Structure 1
């Protein structure tokens, strides 16, 4: 007779096979990339880039290295794997959320510091294509907003730089305001992105708890906090996008289940502002709707939708119409790299890029979600939210407007897919957390990522 501690975990073998399947997808993307010479970089759009940037499903260069963040990241990883699952279960709920947030901040900063303070944090948002490069030239905010759309297309004397042109004005405005209050420069912008991005470690489990499963919320918390995507959360503006929109969904879920109109309104405002941070965040509507459906409260939309529309109205009144910006940014996308990145490859290789962000545990969690009400009308909260994240990802890749670099761009969707890890057996959590941490550490020490 087997001892209790050696009893087989049902489905464990299938979980491992799911993780191996995800790894096989990455291997296929690399093999096809090398075989067909698919390159992220090239002399036309990335002059001076080394040839070693290329046939990877993520934007990265093979460059094994260590840094000041190496010992810090190892300590954070070991501590999280050892204690996080137990603490997430035993601490009071607010204390658990607070601990999750601190873990996410520590994990993200320590990973970023593997590349050093200057390269890993302070200079990450200061390149000639990033938002901060445009900040000194914005001296009149009303004029900037009124003329924003006409400056989106490339090859004009006053065309916006790449990242400003590729997004609505909401994110550029944030960095302008940060500069106006005396917190200008790359370091402050990076810190803001990390601190806001780490809110996903609170928002995702808080949403699951609001939707009726504190048990799943506690189970998911360590996985969201020790997110392999933290490699790209530190530092990119997309981390901020993830934090803002995840908080919006959490407020919406809270308001929907507790009949609190102000929370629904606030959630709508944040989600509405999210659409003015990135055009692709219109797909967050799928995730917000999943929360409303899981809460079974259509009344929440009566407050959330006006909140989101109010944000759109404010931008319209100051001169920026989102629809115009969207059509122009699609045109600019095909003025450049979109024509050089083949759809036939990236429509599936994007998913290989996402494996680096989600980690093997999420692949195993999604396998369990598929057999745990993934297609039922009222699935468990973790399944409902993970399903919504998957739908958003599939819509994004099928659109053809996300050809590579999705390890950064899809962070706002990916954090919800990680909720599927809550379905993994509690006895296996430490092993899966260890695998998640190992992936992030390997990526950050073997590759030099662009973000």
Structure 2
């Protein structure tokens, strides 16, 4: 048996609740429409002044023929990918999925014209605008990061220092400029489909992973893979979680391999608090992997040791994480910004944006996922084998978004912030029986419609 292949080979058939599914799709549509209508009314009343098109930090527009390449890519994926997901060997399938996800994201972004991939990173508010301060002495820049924070670009002020150091390191390797930075972000973000599929395979079996892959590739969240730095966060978190999943599977042969996977997974997961403060609730996903996989103590110990490496390194280099949080909060309050947005409106509307990122196919699947989770919690048999592994991942990601929304720090601009969370919610679409081309087309249509009507900063 190959690495991490689960022995749970249930049929993965849809846990049928069609009426509940269609009600969920109707609620999905009403929530999105209501969020935009209320946002429009609030803006007219002068109560939502930070965004031109609340709940999105974007502007309205209309594209037509420019989207023909994206439509062609979507049609090809809808027609061919369900067959590929069923017939290709596992490792080639992962590579094809990665390439398809990148191609879909690039095709959508290319509708905005030449230079569209790098354009978001050219803004004066983005990370590359602050790289000059890092180049002279990165260690000094890190030691003085919190003290000098108010002088940095907006996105640097709103995050820990690791994203800037990643871009500086990428530049030091000879890949300078926003074009190369965009290539890194898109490649890493697109690779998340493979990492998530590996995780599903470990927890719910290969059939469930193969069923989820077409939906991961065509997820509407691809709109913000090209190009928002949060796509890079998605990739790092997804691979960290996948390595944890590889480490906890008891079917895996070779204790040394499990421990190496645990160490590598811990190392990647340890970077998350230093990439974005908003990634802390995302730890619910690898925690769900641990709860489902029930790993041995040695694997957990190595995982925790790996997670301690990056915090220890940053602390020794002079960056104290709690001070970074406090400094970012101070600049957030002083500058106003998102703090001026309505807490009540965005508490609800942010989930409408989450619905846009995940799509109607996921909305249809969520009632069945919730039912499976309830049955599992009551220690009752779950009808579909996929649900025992998929439901905890979906629930953990939803719990993370709820924690962030209730905290009030994510008032708007969540179309990028939700990306690392939304990808895990998309795995609920493993419910749909292959080839599920109708639902895949609905996912693609959602992304094309948003790209046609919305001009995003990312």
TM-score (norm 1): 0.91
Paired position in structure 2 for 1:345 = 345
Question: 2-side partners of 1:116 and 1:294: how far apart?
Answer: 45
**Does residue 1:132 correspond to 2:124, yes or no?**
no
- 1:295 deviates by 0.7
Paired position in structure 1 for 2:367 = 367
- 1:14 deviates by 3.2
Paired position in structure 2 for 1:411 = 419
What does 1:301-340 correspond to in 2, within 5 Å?
Answer: 301-335=300-334, 336-340=336-340
Paired position in structure 2 for 1:4 = none
Structure 2 vs 1, CA of residues 368 and 10 (structure 1 numbering), >3 Å: closer, same or farther?
closer
**Does residue 1:432 correspond to 2:430, yes or no?**
no
Question: 1-side partners of 2:375 and 2:310: how far apart?
Answer: 34
Residues 64 and 445 in structure 1, CA contact (< 8 A), matched pair in contact too: yes
Return the match for 2:185 from 164, 182, 193. 193
What does 1:291-302 correspond to in 2, within 5 Å?
Answer: 291-297=289-295, 299=297, 300-302=299-301
SS at match of 2:271: helix
What does 1:217-232 correspond to in 2, within 5 Å?
Answer: 217-232=209-224
Question: 2-side partners of 1:39 and 1:91: how far apart?
Answer: 54
Paired position in structure 1 for 2:3 = none
Q: Could you report, residue by residue, the CA deviation over 1:229-264 in whole angstroms, capped at 9, with x for unpaired residues?
A: 000111010000000110000001001113500101
What does 1:155-166 correspond to in 2, within 5 Å?
Answer: 159-166=151-158
Question: 2-side partners of 1:421 and 1:342: how far apart?
Answer: 32
Residues 203 and 390 in structure 2, CA contact (< 8 A), matched pair in contact too: no
**Does residue 1:85 correspond to 2:82, yes or no?**
yes
Paired position in structure 1 for 2:25 = 19
- 1:84 deviates by 1.3
Question: 1-side partners of 2:433 and 2:18: how far apart?
Answer: 9
Residues 48 and 54 in structure 2, CA contact (< 8 A), matched pair in contact too: no
**Does residue 1:272 correspond to 2:278, yes or no?**
no
Residues 53 and 60 in structure 2, CA contact (< 8 A), matched pair in contact too: no
Consecutive unaligned residues of structure 1, counting only runs of 5 or more, are 1-7, 46-52
Paired position in structure 2 for 1:216 = 208
**Does residue 1:441 correspond to 2:448, yes or no?**
yes
SS at match of 1:58: coil
Once the two structures are overlaid, the 10-residue window that deviates more, 211-220 or 415-424, is: 211-220
- 1:206 deviates by 0.6
- 1:424 deviates by 2.2
Once the two structures are overlaid, the 10-residue window that deviates more, 58-67 or 163-172, is: 58-67
SS at match of 1:117: coil
Question: 2-side partners of 1:67 and 1:132: how far apart?
Answer: 32
Once the two structures are overlaid, the 10-residue window that deviates more, 139-148 or 208-217, is: 208-217
Once the two structures are overlaid, the 10-residue window that deviates more, 373-382 or 403-412, is: 373-382
CA RMSD of aligned residues (A): 1.9
Paired position in structure 2 for 1:65 = 63
Once the two structures are overlaid, the 10-residue window that deviates more, 136-145 or 365-374, is: 365-374
What does 1:22-101 correspond to in 2, within 5 Å?
Answer: 22-37=28-43, 42=49, 53-66=51-64, 70-101=67-98
| Runs of 4+ residues over 6 Å off in structure 1 | 38-41
Return the match for 2:242 from 250, 253, 260. 250
- 1:71 deviates by 2.9
TM-score (norm 2): 0.89
Paired position in structure 1 for 2:9 = none
SS at match of 1:448: strand
Structure 2 vs 1, CA of residues 198 and 218 (structure 1 numbering), >3 Å: closer, same or farther?
same
Residues 48 and 342 in structure 2, CA contact (< 8 A), matched pair in contact too: no
- 1:10 deviates by 4.6
Question: 1-side partners of 2:65 and 2:302: how far apart?
Answer: 48
SS at match of 2:59: strand
Residues 211 and 433 in structure 2, CA contact (< 8 A), matched pair in contact too: no
Structure 2 vs 1, CA of residues 223 and 374 (structure 1 numbering), >3 Å: closer, same or farther?
farther
SS at match of 2:122: coil
Question: 2-side partners of 1:210 and 1:40: how far apart?
Answer: 47
- 1:376 deviates by 2.4
Once the two structures are overlaid, the 10-residue window that deviates more, 274-283 or 28-37, is: 28-37
Q: Could you report, residue by residue, the CA deviation over 1:116-148 in whole angstroms, capped at 9, with x for unpaired residues?
A: 132x21221011110000112321001000000
SS at match of 1:380: helix
Question: 2-side partners of 1:430 and 1:39: how far apart?
Answer: 43
SS at match of 1:390: helix
Return the match for 1:171 from 141, 163, 171. 163
SS at match of 1:255: helix
